Amino acid sequence: MKRVLTLALLLAAACGGDRRETPAGAAAPSGGSNKAITIKGSDTMVILGQRFAEEYMKNNPGVVVQVNGGGSGTGIAALINGTVDLAQSSRPMKDGEKADVEKKRNAKLNETPVALDALAVFVNSGNKVQELTLDQLAQVYTGKITNWNQIGGANAPIVLYGRENSSGTYEYFKEHVLAKADFAPRTQTLQGTAAVINAVSRDVNGIGYGGIAYAQGVRPIGVKKDAAAAAVEPTEANVANGTYPIARNLYFYWISTASPQLQQFVRWATSPEGQKMVENVGYFPLPETTRTSTQ
Amino acid sequence: MNDRRKVDLTRGVKGRFIRDRLMTVVFTGAGWVAILFIALIFVFTFREALPIFTEAEVAKEANLHEFFVQKVEGETIEQQYIWQPVGDVPKFSFIPLILGTLKATFVGLLFACPIGVAAALFSSEFAPPKLREWIKPVIELLAGIPSVVLGFFALLVLASWLQNMFGFTYRLNAWNAGLALGIALLPVVFTISEDGMSSVPRHYREGSLALGASRFQTAWKVVLPAALPAVFASFVLAFGRAIGETMILLMAGGNAAITSFSLSDPLRTLSATIAAELGEVVFGDPHYSALFFMGTLLFVMTFVSNSVGQWVVGRMQRRMQGES
C-alpha cells in the first residue's frame, strides 16, 4: 500500500502542470512591481546599466532600478520568458528571437541603441604585436594560427581567452570577425570582460576581446580591415567616423507593454544627461542626431 | 481548567503509547521526505530533458547520437568532438565535457586520497593525544571553506604559482583545477578514514604490538587494512563530490571544452557547463534539453558510483568479519 502511495505521489508530481506556459502568462502584466524596473542582460553593459540606474534613481526618488548581468543571451532569454521587460544586449537580436518575444509576450518589441562600443582586441602589455588584420584575427581565434611568431610576435604559443556563449560580445565577435565559424576548442571561456582582461594581463602570451571600457593593464591592438589598410585604434573618433572595423551599438530591448516608468527611463538614457553616463563609464555616446531630448 | 474532565492525551500509559506512535510517524515521514526529494529531483530534471526523446524538432539537433557519437570533420579527436551549442550549426558533443570532468576528478583524487589517508593514519596512530584533539577540527575547518573562495584562490594565486614552477603554457589547466579540487576533497577523505581507523578495536593493535611489530608496521599492516572499508567509502564519497563540484572547476579550469587527455590543457566540466549556460537558454530549445540531460547524466553518474561504492564497502566489511 505504501509503495503504491509513493508511486502515485511521484506520478502526480511529474504530471502536475506544464511549466512552459506559466512564466510567460504570469509575467505578462509587467516584469516586477510598478515602481521597480528590472534590467537583465549584457555583462559588457552591466556597469553602464548600473550607472544609468544610480543617476536616474538620484534624480527620480521613488523609482527603483535593478540591474543584473549574465550575458546578452541571458537577458534576451529572460525577455522572451517574461522575467524582465528590458534587456540589455551588446549584439542585435536575431529575427527568430524578435519573433519569439512578440509571440510570447504579445507586445511589440522596441530596439533602442544607447551607446557605441568598440570591440577591442587586447594583448598583454609585454607583447610586441601592435596590429592585426581581421583575417589574421579570425585565423587566430579559429585555431589556424597557433604561434605568435606567425603574426609578428615572439616564438610562443598563442593562448586564447574568450567569453561564454551566453555573451553578446561572443556572438558579435563570432559573426563579424569569424564569419560564423566556430571558435577553437582551446579558447578559454571566462565570465565577463573584466575576467578576460584579468587573464590577459597575467598571461604574456594571451589574447582576448571585449568592450573598450574595460581596458586596464592590457593594450588594445590596432585592427586592419585587410593587409593593405592602415591599422585603426579603438578610439571614440574612429568609432564615430566608422573607420574602426568592429564597432557596435549597445542596445536596450524593451516591449511596448512595459510600465510608463520604464519607458521614461529608456528615454532618459538616450538624452544628453544619460549619455554623460556613457562617457563616464568609458563607452562612446550616441551621435548627436540619434539622441532624444529630456522630458 | 481544573473543572475539565477530559482525558489528558499526553499523560499516562495511553498517552505514552500515542506519543510513541506520533514520533514514529514523524521520523518515518522525515525519512520518506528525504527519499522523495531525491526521486523528485530526478523526475523533474529528466522531464525537462524528455523532449530529446519525444519532440522531433528538438531531437533533430540534440539526441543521444549527437551527444556521444557525433564527429565533425577533423584530423585529431580535438577537432572531431566539439561542444559549441550556440551558432548556425550547433554542436552538442558531451565527450570533451565528460573528459574534462574525469580529468579534474582524477587529479583531485590523486592529491586528496594519499594525503588524506596519510593524515588520518597519523592522527589516529601516531599523534600525541593533545595534537589529535585539534588536528581533526582544523582539517574539518578546511571543509568549511566555500568552494567559490577556493576557486578564486586557485584562479589568482595557485595558477600563477604553478605556472612559475612548472612552466605550463596554459595558466588555467587540469592540474590547477584538480589541485584546488583536492583541497576541497581532503577533509572528506580525512574525516571518514580517520573515523574508520579510530574504530578499529584496540585488541588488533595490542595483539600486533605484542607479537613484536613496530608502531609503523602495526599502523600500515594491521590498522589500515582493518579500516579499508571506511577508507574506500571515503574515496567513493570524494569521487561523488568531485564529479558534481561546480564552482572551483568553473573558475580555475579555464573552461575550454577540449577533447584532450593532457593534464596541462584547460578543461570544462559538465557541471560548469550547466552553471554557465543554463541562464541564457530559452525554454524548449534543444540547448535547454541538452543541458537538463547533462544534469540527469551527472545525477545518474553520482548515484551509480555511490551505489557501487556502497556495495563494494559492504562486501569488504563482510569479508573482514569472515562471512563471505
Looking at residue A289, its pLDDT comes to: 66
Average pLDDT over every residue of A127-136: 90
Tell me whether residues B256 and A190 touch, CB distance under 8 A.
no
pLDDT bin (cut points 50, 70, 90) of residue A237 is confident
C-alpha distances in Å from residue A152, one per residue of A134, A145, A207, B169: 15, 12, 14, 19
In the chain, the amino acid numbered A115 is A
pLDDT bin (cut points 50, 70, 90) of residue A10 is low
Between A140 and B86, the more confident residue is A140
Please name the residue ranges forming H helices in chain B. Answer: 12-49, 51-54, 56-61, 64-68, 77-80, 95-121, 129-143, 147-153, 159-166, 174-198, 202-210, 215-218, 224-226, 228-244, 247-252, 270-277, 286-320
Residues of B in contact with A205 (CB under 8 A): 169
Q: How far is B68 from chain A (nearest CA, A)?
A: 17
Looking at residue A290, its pLDDT comes to: 63
Nearest residue, CB atoms, A13 vs list B40, B96, B284: B40
Looking at residue B3, its pLDDT comes to: 58
- On average, the pLDDT of chain A sits at 83
Q: How far is B146 from chain A (nearest CA, A)?
A: 19
Residues of B in contact with A17 (CB under 8 A): none
Contact between A251 and A113 under an 8 Å Cβ cutoff? The reply is yes
C-alpha distances in Å from residue A21, one per residue of A31, A105, B161: 16, 11, 51
Determine the Cα–Cα distance for residues A132 and A225; give it in Å rounded to an integer. 9
Nearest residue, CB atoms, B282 vs list A71, A100, A202: A100
C-alpha distances in Å from residue B252, one per residue of A210, B255, B279: 20, 8, 20
Residues of A in contact with B29 (CB under 8 A): none
Looking at residue A295, its pLDDT comes to: 37
Chain A nearest-CA residue for B93: A185
Tell me whether residues B276 and A6 touch, CB distance under 8 A.
no
For B:197-236, CB contacts with A below 8 A are none
Grid coordinates belonging to B276: 554557465
What percent of chain A stands above pLDDT 90? 31
Tell me whether residues A157 and B169 touch, CB distance under 8 A.
yes
Residue B255 forms contact with A (CB below 8 Å): yes
Cell 609503523 belongs to residue: B216
Residue B286 forms contact with A (CB below 8 Å): no
Determine the Cα–Cα distance for residues A121 and B273; give it in Å rounded to an integer. 25
Determine the Cα–Cα distance for residues A24 and B306; give it in Å rounded to an integer. 39
Q: How far is A33 from chain B (nearest CA, A)?
A: 22
Q: How far is B54 from chain A (nearest CA, A)?
A: 15
Determine the Cα–Cα distance for residues B37 and A248; give it in Å rounded to an integer. 47
Chain B nearest-CA residue for A23: B283
Residue B85 forms contact with A (CB below 8 Å): yes
Q: What is the largest CA-CA distance in chain B?
A: 93
Using alpha carbons only, what angle is made at residue A118 by residues A114 and A123, rounded to the nearest 5 degrees? 145
pLDDT bin (cut points 50, 70, 90) of residue A15 is low
Q: How far is A223 from chain B (nearest CA, A)?
A: 24
Residue B40 forms contact with A (CB below 8 Å): yes
Determine the Cα–Cα distance for residues A204 and B171; give it in Å rounded to an integer. 10
Looking at residue A23, its pLDDT comes to: 39
Determine the Cα–Cα distance for residues A75 and A32; give it in Å rounded to an integer. 15
Nearest residue, CB atoms, B39 vs list A10, A70, A190: A10
Would you give per-residue pLDDT tens digits along chain B (324 residues)?
Answer: 555 666 665 567 788 889 999 999 999 999 999 999 999 999 999 999 998 888 888 888 888 888 888 888 888 888 888 898 888 888 899 999 999 999 999 999 999 999 999 999 999 999 999 999 999 899 989 899 999 999 999 988 999 899 999 988 898 999 999 999 999 999 999 999 999 999 999 999 999 999 999 999 999 999 999 999 999 999 999 999 999 899 999 999 989 999 999 999 999 999 999 998 888 787 888 899 999 999 999 999 998 988 988 888 888 888 877 764
Residue B88 forms contact with A (CB below 8 Å): yes
Residues of A in contact with B255 (CB under 8 A): 164, 188-190
Looking at residue B140, its pLDDT comes to: 86
Q: How far is A189 from chain B (nearest CA, A)?
A: 5
Looking at residue B315, its pLDDT comes to: 87
Tell me whether residues B256 and A202 touch, CB distance under 8 A.
no
Chains A, B: CB contacts within 8 A come to 95
Residues of B in contact with A173 (CB under 8 A): none
Determine the Cα–Cα distance for residues B88 and A252; give it in Å rounded to an integer. 24
